[in-house]
Amino acid sequence: MTIEALAQAAMALVPAEGRAILGIGGTPGAGKTTLAEAIVREVARARGPAWVAHVPMDGFHLADVQLARVDALSRKGAPDTFDAEGYAHLLERIRTDDASWIYAPGFDRDLEQPLAAAMVVPPAARLVVSEGNYLLLDVGAWPRARAAVDEVWFVTGDERVRLERLVQRHVDFGKAEHDARTWVEGTDEPNARLVGASSARADRHVRNAPDGWAFTDE
């Protein structure tokens, strides 16, 4: 299956009037952002850049100053280190307000901090893609976020590749390899197990493989 086919499936979610929100879930390092960005690019090519928007959950990371305040820096990336209520509220507004320019926070990978108003959903957007680890959790404000989304696609793939990709990501953003592996084992993988346990709630599953992306439920 090609990314064009996945983009077509995403566009098929859009109703005759209004807009649709596609959520992309998966464990850390599974390829959620890669898939989201590829779908957004293909939809923009097919329908024009104003027709689609991208709003990642990463912008709702609590800033380090807040994590330090509650002694949670060592657990950065866990469900309670995000502003889940803010994320849910944004998705609800995106669903109901198609007359405004809706600004949303992004995430600066160099700073490892959220960045206010880095993303935007224009009034013309008919499809909004939002990826995040915890869209399928059934605790706290996460069910509100899920309720605002039309479908959630869960990304899967080779676990060894996922782990190496995750370690390399931490190295690329400044950690020594030993520290990166320690962080992955002690912080990312407990989160991954939590996310993986929620995968059965996804509407569709997408496999991230060397030969491309494919739905695994067809």
Tell me: the pLDDT tens digits for 190-207? 899 999 999 999 999 999
Residue 10 φ then ψ, to 5°: -65, -45
pLDDT of residue 150: 98
Q: Which residues contact 113 (CB under 8 A, 6 or more apart)?
A: 61, 63, 64, 107
Structure tokens, 39: 């779908």
Q: Kindly state the DSSP code that residue 139 receives in the 8-state scheme.
A: S
Distance CA 197, CA 209 (A): 21
Homologous superfamily (CATH) for 3-211: P-loop containing nucleotide triphosphate hydrolases (3.40.50.300)
Say if residues 125 and 103 touch (Cβ distance below 8 Å): no
pLDDT value at residue 218 = 55
* Strand arrangement, sheet containing 151-157: 52-54, 127-131, 20-26, 151-157, 204-209, 212-215
Q: What is the pLDDT of residue 187?
A: 84
d(CA 40, CA 30): 18
Contacts of 179 (CB under 8 A, 6+ apart): 170
Instruction: Classify burial at 63, counting beta carbons within 10 Å of its beta carbon; exposed 0-12, middle 13-18, buried 19 or more.
Output: middle
> What is the predicted pLDDT for the residue at 59?
96
Using 70 as the pLDDT threshold, list the residues of the chain that sit under it.
1, 218
**Cβ–Cβ under 8 Å, residues 25 and 132:** yes
Identify residue 58 by its one-letter amino acid code. Answer: D
d(CA 160, CA 59): 27
Residue 129 dihedral angles phi and psi, to the nearest 5°:
-110, 130
**pLDDT number for residue 194:** 92
Distance separating alpha carbons of residues 215 and 218, to the nearest angstrom = 6
Contact 27, 184 (CB under 8 A): no
Q: Which token pair is 74?
A: 């060592």
**What per-residue confidence (pLDDT) applies to 63?**
96
What global pTM score does this model have?
A: 0.92
Residues in CB range of 54: below 8 A, 6 or more apart: 36, 37, 40, 119, 128, 129, 130
**191 alpha carbon, distance to own chain's centre:** 14
